């Protein structure tokens, strides 16, 4: 019995260490800390203009068109989509200055357009992000068919970390749970572990002629 308990403690300690490494790697980026996190909305906001899928989970990535930090998150989502196709209804919402003129697509928007199966929409004055309590570019939220929050966090690859990050595994586990492919799991909420710019800010990518 003692050996079994010790083995379980080793497993738990290993999981904590892996998560700590992932979070520590985020802090290794030489950029300002992420914006303060708003209160996450645990149930799908009734005033949202987005269509929540009544059968499959709905996944939303909130992004800033001029956040260079978000490129890694978009690439990671593109790499994950073959595994998520048909299992989620995916959106990417790009924050847009309220009433601002339409500009030529940024690198982030062009990259998002290359991701198959994703609905891309403008988020005027980041109003939808506010409704969902999201403040940082690159953050993903996942709601089940009933509108319950299952996952909130970032999926950007981490420097000096090989393989899928704990948050990517958490997202995949949440999708499997919401799709009935596995037993219900714990809710994953790590909005502070998101590498990106403030959605209400100007981003950190240089402007190009015509923008």
* Domain assignment of residue 202, yes or no: no
* Domain assignment of residue 138, yes or no: yes
pLDDT tens digits, one per residue of 70-81: 999 999 999 999
pLDDT tens digits, one per residue of 32-69: 444 444 566 789 999 999 999 999 999 999 999 999 99
* Domain assignment of residue 204, yes or no: no
pLDDT tens digits, one per residue of 136-155: 999 999 999 999 999 999 99
Count the domains in the chain.
1
Tokens of 185: 């799991």
* Domain assignment of residue 7, yes or no: yes
Nearest to 92 by CA among 127, 139, 42: 139
| Side-by-side strand order, sheet with 140-143 | 119-124, 89-96, 58-63, 140-143, 149-153, 188-189
- For 57-80, give one letter per residue: b (16+ CB within 10 A) or e: bbbbbbbbbbbbbbbbbbbbbeeb
Q: The domain that contains 96 carries what CATH number? A: 3.40.30.10
Q: How many CB atoms lie within 10 A of CB 112?
A: 22
* Domain assignment of residue 194, yes or no: no
Residue 112 confidence (pLDDT): 97
For residue 109, the enclosing domain spans 2-189
Nearest to 78 by CA among 63, 97, 98, 99: 63
Among 4-18, 19-33, 162-176, name the most confident range.
162-176
* Domain assignment of residue 203, yes or no: no
| Sign of CA pseudo-dihedral 24, 30, 36, 42 | negative
Q: How many CB atoms lie within 10 A of CB 43?
A: 10
Model pTM score: 0.78
Phi, psi of 6 (to 5 degrees): -65, -40
- DSSP state at residue 50: S
* Domain assignment of residue 209, yes or no: no
* Domain assignment of residue 96, yes or no: yes
């Amino acid at each position: 019995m003692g050996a079994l308990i010790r083995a379980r403690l080793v497993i738990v300690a290993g999981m904590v260490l892996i998560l700590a490494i992932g979070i520590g790697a985020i802090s290794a980026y030489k950029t300002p800390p992420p914006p303060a996190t708003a209160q996450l909305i645990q149930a799908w906001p009734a005033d949202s203009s987005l269509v929540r899928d009544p059968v499959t989970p709905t996944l939303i990535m909130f992004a800033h068109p001029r956040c260079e930090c978000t490129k890694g998150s978009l690439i990671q989502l593109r790499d994950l989509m073959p595994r998520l196709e048909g299992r989620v209804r995916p959106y990417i919402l790009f924050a847009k200055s309220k009433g601002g003129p339409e500009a030529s697509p940024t690198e982030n928007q062009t990259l998002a357009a290359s991701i198959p199966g994703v609905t891309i929409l403008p988020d005027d004055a980041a109003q939808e992000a506010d409704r969902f309590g999201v403040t940082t570019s690159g953050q993903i939220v996942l709601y089940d068919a009933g509108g319950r929050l299952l996952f909130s966090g970032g999926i950007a690859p981490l420097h000096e970390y090989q393989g899928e990050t704990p948050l990517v595994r958490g997202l995949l586990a949440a999708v499997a749970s919401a799709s009935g492919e596995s037993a219900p799991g714990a809710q994953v909420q790590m909005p502070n572990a998101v590498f990106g710019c403030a959605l209400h800010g100007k981003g950190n990518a240089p402007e190009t002629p015509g923008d």
